[in-house]
Chain A
Amino acid sequence: MATEAKVDPMHQFTIQPMFGTDQLELLGYNIAITNSTVWMAISAIVLWVFVAGGMKRQLVPGRWQMAVESFTGLIDDMLEANIGKNGRKYVPYIFSLFMFILFGNILGLMPLGVVGLHPFTFTSHFTVTGILAIISFGIVLIVGFAKHKLHFFSLFVPHGTPVPMIPIIFVVEMISFMVRPFSLGLRLFVAMMAGHVLLEVLSSFVIGSSNAGMQYFAIAGIPSFLLMIGICALEILVAGIQAYVFALLTSVYLNDAENLH
């Protein structure tokens, strides 16, 4: 029997420097152009092309303009429902955040591997999602303190709290507030990573069973392949839901900063 090919499901998340820039440094930090950077740039360009195609401002929108407007409308409605009238000014930020994450998720799922171009899902790294979460959290802190000054701390004491409970509630609310950027980034990164690991493991079943022989392929390979098709559809759903949840939770947190509660 030939040496068994070991499929490593974590290999797809390896960060590789590209274009020979692995020694590029700035102020002592390595700033090599990696596959992660390249796919972030690609999704930013695709996003720019998508939105630019819908900026024609026709009175009767075409299909493309309709697609872009339905996305901006989705974000607009979400902010108005969660924050109210003065939530409109966050539309540019939330829209960029939602579309960047959505395009990153979807582009990472594209079956470009069949033509030799292996897509890299940058949202499956905690460095990327963590930074996005910290940006959202930073905006919440800046808006909250700029608008309400030190009154912002009343966020940690809900209305009608009995006085003896205030120290305990304050600590509990404080912890739940401080853990927000962590849970926000963790959710997106783990959801994307878990899906890609699952697809890789199932594909290793298909390859391994087809190497082992016809009867193994019939028993294990074909059901795994059918399951993969279903999981792919589920992953497209998850890519959309996770981008939406990220944007939604950011707008809920912005509501706390904007209106307290």
Chain B
Amino acid sequence: MLKTLASYITFDLLALEHGSRLGAALEFFIYDTIKIFLLLFVIIFVISVIRSYFPPEKTRRILSHKKEFRGNILAALLGIVTPFCSCSAVPLFIGFVEAGIPLGVTFSFLISSPMVNEVAVVLLWGMFGWKIAAIYLGTGLFVAVLAGLIIGKLKLEKWVEEYVYTFHSGSSHEIMKQAFKERLEHAKWNTVDILKRVWLFVVLAIGIGGFIHGYVPQDFLTHYAGNENPFAVPIAVAVGVPLYSNAAGVIPIVYALMEKGLSTGTVLAFMMAVTALSLPEMIILRKVLKLPLLAVFVGIMAITITAVGYLFNAIL
């Protein structure tokens, strides 16, 4: 049905010639745009409703008596459904420590939250198919669990700023109740708000797919980061770590890299490095973590992401 609509707009409304290159590109562009925006709308809405049931206070309560490993897995999963603005990383971190949640489990949460993001997953799904989206989701969770476990095992509690441990917020925070209708209302509002912020990136990404397709010289990047180069993955991660963008912003770049023939593992590793680690987040986390712990965190993330990249290049 969407296909019919796209071809109607292209060939009837705009009266482009059948079989022309521009017509085909435009038809593809219109079809993909409608499809991806429909997906985005539905998924963001559903996730927003689910999120309204998992405020950080509740997540903290769920995690407070969990041991490592099970706790790490749960924390990574909760990272997806707990709404969380990067600016609340500090109160959240302190609150988690105060509730006795192990350091590694707290990290699993902090890692999965920005990386495994509904907009990223939907865009990957719409543009590269559900398999790539599922792989990203799965590996994102895996990286969050693994990095959290390693940090936990290293016993780095001494590198958390002392004041975090002596902190007493005093009151247990109550969770605000919401009627179901109110949750839907909120979710709708939030969906529109997110779409307003990301639509340009999405259109850009689809545009790259539709129009630049086939016109980009392939040699340059594939020469340096293509399949033959054994260092492709670490190079992609090294480039990705200092870069920062939200998941939507990185998708046009991801599309372009895929087009240029970079292998899937390399591109996914790049995307994870961009979304999971960012300078603004480091600056915020520096308020609760001493420099060595911050460095260990970045190091472990870079290594884990690189490993995942190699793994996928090997099996895909």
Do A and B share a complex? no
Binding site for A on B (CB under 8 A): none
